[in-house]
Amino acid sequence: MTDITGQSLIAGEWITPAGKEYTSINPYTKEVFNAFKSCGVEEIEKAVSAAAYAYQQMRKMDGETIGTFLEAVADEIEALGDILLETGDTETGLGLARMTGERGRTTGQIRAFAAIAKKGEWVEAAIDTAIPDRAPLPKPDLRRMMTGIGPVAVFGASNFPFAFGVLGGDTASALAAGNPVIVKGHSAHPATSELFAKAIDAAIQKTGFPKGAFSLLQGANRELGTELVKHPVIQAVGFTGSEGGGRALMDIAAARPQPIPVYAEMGSINPVFLGPNTIKSTGDGIAAGLAGSVCMGTGQFCTSPGLAIMLEDANFEAKMVEALDAAPRGYLLNPRIQGSLQDAFKRFESIEGCEWLNKADFEEGSMTPPNAVFKTTGDVFLKEPELAEEAFGPVNLMVVCKDEVQMLEVGNSLKGQLTGSIHADEDPELAKAVLAILEQKVGRIIFNGYPTGVEVCPSQQHGGPYPSSSVSWATSVGADAIRRFARFVSYQATPDAFLPSALKNDNPLNIFRKVNGEMSQAKIG
Ligand code: NAP
């Protein structure tokens, strides 16, 4: 990691902050890197004033300019080469194959938002022309479109250092909507964050984009994040991380003199419902698939299936144990995740009526946890709310219910989730009832599959009712992620010369717009 300076990037200037020193840790070797220092309020002030200035330039930009800039950002990420993959792996233990795939997803997302910005239809331009002789009152000319909201603060998660990191989906979608972004770098992978900042810095220089459009404030102090969210220039927050962190920032944002939205994507236990007849006939394959999903990425996915809701089935139980024991142990991301997983194991084990079926060694401080399956009853689950908390790691809790009615009761007891899965081809009545519950509880419903693996496309919904997300309609993945960082403005009786391009009579952007209720690309008048 010879190219890493430990600096932060503020509006085109690389600086060494004076704050607390901190380290990132190689999960494979526990080797530490001491080169990082935390930013504080002084750096926040510089970044937000540059962002406020940049916003005045960005809000007047056309989508072509923003799209070209985002394409340059994706190119510069690729130009970093293997050092990015190696650094990401060294700071997370996720492996080079995963890092390679995640880089592709990250540049793919950025290019998708570049295309969205260039196409221009995301602004949802709508024009209702005047009816001067309408009785009893004339109708005015009204035109509405979406526009950026101003500087956005972004917090990424430790388990997706690229795709939900410095230049992940939140940053890409906020920039695409014409907003400057200030990223609070994750303290667990600062070297990776620095490389991404180098890529966007190079893209800014090459395209002449406003320097204040991006800043990376590195730091390992909670004050940095809280002061950033409190700053009056910040107009929205994109957060991916724990429920505790997301909730803390939501409360801070709500308590500001001007409350602002926090789009927080948080943890989830992603229930999987297993119909009794279905697992009798196809349970072996389902157990193999479920165990694979539980172990993927050492269980460190927000979509990891933490809960299997079923009736007693000794064969399925044995197959799950077999598959989880056969899977190799993976690495945990960092000591904090390690500590909280160890706490989760202790929590499960301390609850009477909750049994660790394949109990194995998990020594204090060990970065390679066992792939674990716990078992409890529906009765115990319903009276022990701690069993419904996320255990971030390769862990599944089987909730064995006394009947199908109790399976539904367990489903109804759950808080909001990112996903819910149903394996019940041979239990159609149960499937129907579970579906009705999941439609009210989750963002994505999966039939005969597993929740890990989030397709990036317009019909994806990655976000669900609280606490899986802070805003249940919002998605942090897919084209609609841009809507989180935009708002509508209506122009009434506004002279054509003053209107933004998307709303002008001659349709200079040649985009589809809703004109008097019909989609149209035509010139008006
Ligand atoms: P985290 O500990 O919440 O950290 C995320 C970021 O928020 C970090 O920059 C952290 O700062 C900051 N932060 C956390 N608490 C804060 C507070 N009270 N005040 C100010 N800043 C705060 O999350 P993580 O451990 O990195 O990520 C794992 C979690 O993310 C899991 O729960 C997982 O399910 C969830 N996740 C969700 C999604 C999704 O799309 N829903 C995707 C990936 C991960 P520091 O760096 O200083 O700690």
Could you tell me if the CB of 158 is within 6 A of ligand 1? yes
Predicted local distance difference test score (pLDDT) of residue 525:
79
Q: Assess contact for 394 and 439: CB atoms under 8 A.
A: no
Instruction: Name the amino acid, one letter, at 323.
Output: A
Give the other-Cβ count within 10 Å of 360's Cβ.
12
Q: Whose CA is nearest to atom 18 of ligand 1?
A: 245
Q: Which tokens sit at 486? A: 């935009």
Closest-CA residue to 159 (of 91, 218, 110): 91
CA of 183 from ligand 1 middle (Å) equals 13
Report pLDDT digits (tens) over 468-496: 999 999 999 999 999 999 999 999 999 99
> What is the per-residue pLDDT for 3?
80
Any ligand 1 atom below 6 A from CB of 145: no
Q: Compute how many other C-beta atoms are within 10 angstroms of the C-beta atom of residue 440.
A: 10
- Element spanning 270, H or E: none
* pLDDT for position 1: 53
Instruction: Work out the mean pLDDT of the chain and round it to a whole number.
Output: 97
Reduce the DSSP state of residue 75 to 3 states and report it.
Answer: helix
Q: What percent of the chain has pLDDT over 70?
A: 99
Q: Which atom of ligand 1 is nearest to the CA of 219?
A: 47
Ordered by where they begin, the domains of the chain are 9-266+474-484 (3.40.605.10), 271-447 (3.40.309.10)
Catalytic positions? 265, 302
Instruction: Give the separation between CA 378 and CA 452, rounded to whole angstroms.
Output: 25
Closest ligand 1 atom number to CA of residue 302 = 34
Which atom of ligand 1 is the closest one to the Cα of 463? 41
Ligand 1 geometric centre to CA of 158 (Å): 7
Residue 215 near residue 182, CB atoms below 8 Å: yes
Distance from chain centroid for Cα 324: 27
CA 173 to ligand 1 center in whole angstroms? 19
Q: How would you list the strands of the sheet with 271-274, edge to edge?
A: 355-356, 372-377, 395-401, 307-311, 271-274, 417-423, 442-447
296 vs 331: CA distance, rounded Å: 11
Ligand 1 neighbourhood includes 222 CB (under 6 angstroms): yes
Asked if residue 394 has a cis previous peptide bond (ω within 30° of 0), the answer is no
Cα dihedral angle (406, 409, 411, 412), rounded to 10 degrees?
A: 170
In DSSP terms, 388 is beta-bridged to none
The pLDDT tens digits for 236-263 are 999 999 999 999 999 999 999 999 999 9
The DSSP letter of residue 256 is S
User: In the chain, what percentage of residues exceed pLDDT 90?
Assistant: 97
User: Are 411 and 270 in contact, with CB atoms under 8 Å apart?
Assistant: no
Q: What is the pLDDT along the chain (525 residues), one digit of tens a residue?
A: 558 999 999 999 999 999 999 999 999 999 997 689 999 999 999 999 999 999 999 999 999 999 999 999 999 999 999 999 999 999 999 999 999 999 999 999 999 999 999 999 999 999 999 999 999 999 999 999 999 999 999 999 999 999 999 999 999 999 999 999 999 999 999 999 999 999 999 999 999 999 999 999 999 999 999 999 999 999 999 999 999 999 999 999 999 999 999 999 999 999 999 999 999 999 999 999 999 999 999 999 999 999 999 999 999 999 999 999 999 999 999 999 999 999 999 999 999 999 999 999 999 999 999 999 999 999 999 999 999 999 999 999 999 999 999 999 999 999 999 999 999 999 999 999 999 999 999 999 999 999 999 988 889 999 999 999 999 999 999 999 999 999 999 999 999 999 999 999 999 999 999 999 999 999 997
User: How would you list the strands of the sheet with 518-520, edge to edge?
Assistant: 486-492, 142-148, 126-128, 513-515, 518-520
Peptide bond into 136 cis (omega under 30): yes
Question: What is the CA(241)–ligand 1 centre distance, in A?
Answer: 3
User: Does ligand 1 come within 6 angstroms of the Cβ of 164?
Assistant: yes
157 close to ligand 1 (CB < 6 Angstrom):
yes
SS3 81: coil
Q: Who contacts 323 (Cβ-Cβ below 8 Å, separation ≥6)?
A: 287, 288, 290, 291, 292
State the distance from the centre of ligand 1 to the C-alpha of 413, rounded, in angstroms.
25
387 Cβ inside 6 Å of ligand 1: no
For the Cβ of 159 lying below 6 angstroms from any atom of ligand 1, the answer is yes
Q: Residue 329: exposed, middle, or buried by beta-carbon count in 10 A (0-12, 13-18, 19+)?
A: middle
Residue with the nearest Cα to atom 9 of ligand 1?
186
3-state helix, strand, coil in the chain (%, to 5): 45, 20, 40
Ligand 1 contact, 184 CB (< 6 A): yes
What's the CA dihedral at 246, 251, 253, 255 to 10 degrees?
-170
Note the pLDDT of residue 456.
Answer: 84
CA distance 143 to 61: 19
Helices within 208-268 (DSSP H only) = 222-230, 243-255
Rg (CA), the chain: 25
**Looking at ligand 1, which residue's alpha carbon is closest to its atom 12?**
245
Q: Tell me how far the alpha carbon of residue 521 lies from the centroid of ligand 1, in angstroms.
A: 43
Q: Which atom of ligand 1 is closest in space to residue 267's alpha carbon?
A: 34
Q: Can you read off the two tokens belonging to residue 455?
A: 């397709």
Identify the residue whose tokens are 């999987």: 272
304 touches ligand 1 (CB under 6 Å) = no
Query: How far is the C-alpha of 233 from the C-alpha of 180, rounded, in Å?
Result: 11
